């Protein structure tokens, strides 16, 4: 099997945030997709090792934000290469909170979706969360960053916990 074929599947770049018992967290994710338009439903895949997984599993609520191409690598790294367990990812970041106390970054984001988790599927190392969209907001018309753009222009890499990680 040629694992490089998987790199040809297009993905976006997103920040997934959640809150539970006054603890907040978030992470970069690339596996987010619309499942249906009516009812509006989105699926996300999150590693069970990530603190965001714990928040999602317990709160059953999330915000999915679309990252823009102008996001600097440092901003991406802040949400992608550290754990919310022991690092405040929102320090120095402009954000608002929704009615569920979930932080929503407002810089380098062009839109976001407030969702309730309605179902989940255990996929060994990850969980696929099925989410009902309660609200969506467009902040600007900046281009959404694709995973291809992240690799080719930002020179980013895929961390081990990402659903699209391919062992060398």
What is the topology classification, in CATH, of domain 16-24+35-152? Pnp Oxidase; Chain A (2.30.110)
Would you place residue 2 in the very low, low, confident or very high pLDDT band (cuts 50, 70, 90)? Answer: confident
Which pLDDT does position 164 carry in this prediction? 56
pLDDT tens digits, one per residue of 128-162: 999 999 999 999 999 999 888 887 887 766 656 55
CA distance 132 to 24: 20
What count of Cα atoms within 13 Å lies in the side-chain half-sphere of residue 52? 31
Which pLDDT does position 167 carry in this prediction? 67
Which pLDDT does position 157 carry in this prediction? 60
User: Is the sign of the CA dihedral 154, 94, 52, 8 positive or negative?
Assistant: negative
pLDDT tens digits, one per residue of 9-19: 888 999 999 99
For residue 107, give Cα distances in angstroms to 5, 21, 123, 152: 33, 25, 32, 22
Average pLDDT of every residue of the chain: 90
Would you place residue 3 in the very low, low, confident or very high pLDDT band (cuts 50, 70, 90)? Answer: confident
Q: What are the domain boundaries of the chain? A: 16-24+35-152
Mean pLDDT calculated for residue range 71-77: 91
């Amino acid at each position: 099997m040629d694992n490089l074929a998987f790199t040809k599947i297009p993905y976006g770049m997103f920040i997934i945030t959640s809150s539970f018992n006054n603890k907040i967290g978030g992470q970069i994710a690339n596996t987010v997709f619309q499942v249906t338009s009516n009812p509006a439903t989105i699926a996300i895949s999150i590693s069970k090792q990530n603190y965001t997984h714990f928040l999602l599993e317990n709160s059953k609520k999330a915000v999915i934000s679309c990252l823009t191409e102008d996001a600097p690598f440092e901003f991406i790294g802040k949400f992608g290469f550290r754990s919310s367990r022991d690092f405040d990812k929102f320090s120095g970041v402009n954000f608002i909170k929704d009615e569920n106390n979930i932080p929503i970054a407002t810089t380098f984001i062009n839109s976001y979706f407030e969702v309730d988790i309605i179902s989940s599927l255990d996929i060994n190392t990850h969980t696929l969360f099925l989410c009902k969209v309660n609200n969506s907001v467009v902040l600007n018309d900046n281009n959404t960053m694709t995973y291809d753009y992240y690799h080719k222009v930002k020179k980013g890499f895929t961390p081990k916990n990402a659903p699209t990680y391919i062992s060398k």
